[in-house]
Amino acid sequence: GQNIDQPTEMTATEGAIVQINCTYQTSGFNGLFWYQQHAGEAPTFLSYNVLDGLEEKGRFSSFLSRSKGYSYLLLKELQMKDSASYLCAVRDSNTDKLIFGTGTRLQVFP
Amino acid sequence: SQTIHQWPATLVQPVGSPLSLECTVEGTSNPNLYWYRQAAGRGLQLLFYSVGIGQISSEVPQNLSASRPQDRQFILSSKKLLLSDSGFYLCAWSRESAEAFFGQGTRLTVV
């Protein structure tokens, strides 16, 4: 089976840095994905990690440690528009299914 | 380029009525297709998953069914809706092992 955990809510200040953690337990692992979802909208793809280490894309970076079943999404130079839910998802290598965590709702304050 | 279409965007249906939500993908062949449901303020729950025509994996026992009559068409159905079927329904596609792309979603309210 699969189990994916994220904090439910986080708050941060405009211009700051925030780290959103995700831990997972799966029977088979074939990649970890981060998505951003604004209220009332569909999720949009942010990043993908399949090997250990850090992937950087502009203000967003994602880290993976497969041995620890752990990932984080790092958001730098926060902007008000970054207020959204951030979803961690894991692809199961046995079934190829994409399983999502419950998401972390981030609120950015001025 | 690939696109995914999902309709309708919003739907209000009475309890006991049937449901049919349609999703189509353009610009790719043999995609993996997904139906997810999201309750208010919650994460995405995988409902159905398909790797090919007529191949449907059901994740949770429920009042819903899915069909894939064509390679790039995925349909979510119900014969009789329950109040608990209300939610935000999302269709998605992916290539094998790659990221998934979502349709705009359907907000279903059962009254």
pLDDT tens track for A18-57: 999 999 998 889 999 999 999 999 999 999 999 999 999 9
> Left, alpha or beta for A54 (phi > 0: left; psi -120 to 50: alpha)?
beta
Q: Is B56 in CB contact (< 8 Å) with chain A? A: no
Name the pLDDT band for A87 (thresholds 50, 70, 90): very high
Task: Please say whether the beta carbons of A59 and A75 come within 8 A.
Answer: yes
Residue of B nearest to A46 (CA): B99
Q: Is B17 in CB contact (< 8 Å) with chain A? A: no
CB contact under 8 A, A96 and B32: yes
CB contact under 8 A, A97 and B102: no
Q: What tens digit of pLDDT does each residue of B21-75 get? A: 999 999 999 999 999 999 887 889 999 999 999 899 998 768 899 999 999 999 9
- The percent helix, strand, coil of chain A (3-state, each to 5) is 5, 55, 40
CB contact under 8 A, A43 and B44: yes
